Structure formats: C-alpha cells, structure tokens
Amino acid sequence: MPKQPIIPPGSAPPLAPYSPGVRAGNTIYVSGVLPMDAQGNTVGVGDAAAQTRAVLEAVRAIVQAGGGTLADVAYCNIFLSDMVHYAAMNGVYREFFPTEPPARWCIQAGLVKPEFLVEISAVAHLA
C-alpha cells in the first residue's frame, strides 16, 4: 500500500528528517507534534495549556490535510516534560476530544528542547 506524506501549509519546520504526518490506506500517522509556530518558534513558553492547545491544533491540521477529522483519531501518545503539567494538558485535551476520546497513554519524558512541555503523536483511522 503506498504511503503519502502529509505536510499542511503553515506547519512548523521539522527538527529532524520526518514528515508531520503520513497517510497509508485509511490510516493517518501523526508524528510527535511540538509546540512550535510556522517559523519554528516555541509557542506558550512556560504554559502547558497553551502548548497543548498549539500541539492539538497542529494535530488537527495534519489529520484534516490527510482527509480526516479529530473524530477519526483512535490513539494518542502524550509526552510531558513533567507530570506537574498533567492537569493543564488534560483540561485542553478534553476540549479537543469532548466525547468518545481516543485511547492514549501519557508519560513523563525529556523533550527535544527544555522549553517544550508537551508533545503529542496520534493515529487516525478513516472510515
């Protein structure tokens, strides 16, 4: 099955050799999204809620560019630089997935830059 890279207009520049998303058949794989704007600047420095919002907006843009919606997201991986950000992340996450949220896991991990507090990857299945 051929795969198609997904690079939405205005997406942040990748920090390594990867595509923001890839569609293979009816599945969209979203790479780990970091809180960056189109110029590569960190969004919401020191604010986990603002960073979560920026990350999930980027996840939505990638899924939409691949032909889906957030309702198609079946699984998320969430990385927090510190679990102290868990409540702030969940508050925003709930806004993006208010009903039938995807399966997920959330861990504390060192992220690429110290100002990054949140990173999320996702898998969406299109009907």
Q: Which fold has domain 3-125?
A: 60s Ribosomal Protein L30; Chain: A; (3.30.1330)
Q: How far apart are CA 124 and CA 64, in angstroms?
A: 10
pLDDT at 61: 97
Q: Which residue type does 32 have? A: G
88 φ/ψ angles, rounded to the nearest 5 degrees? -65, -45
Dump strand ranges (E) for the chain.
3-6, 21-24, 27-33, 73-80, 103-108, 118-125
Report whether pLDDT(14) > 90: no
Beta bridge partners of 122: 30, 76
Strand partners, 19: none
The chain-wide mean pLDDT, for the chain, equals 96
pTM (two decimals): 0.96
Query: How many CB atoms sit inside 10 A of residue 105's CB?
Result: 9
As a whole number, mean pLDDT of residues 70-84 equals: 98
Q: 109 Cβ partners below 8 Å, 6+ apart?
A: 79, 80, 81, 119
Question: Which range (6-10, 57-61, 76-80) has the least confidence?
Answer: 6-10
Q: Where are the alpha helices (DSSP H) in the chain?
A: 48-65, 86-96
Output the pLDDT for position 13: 84
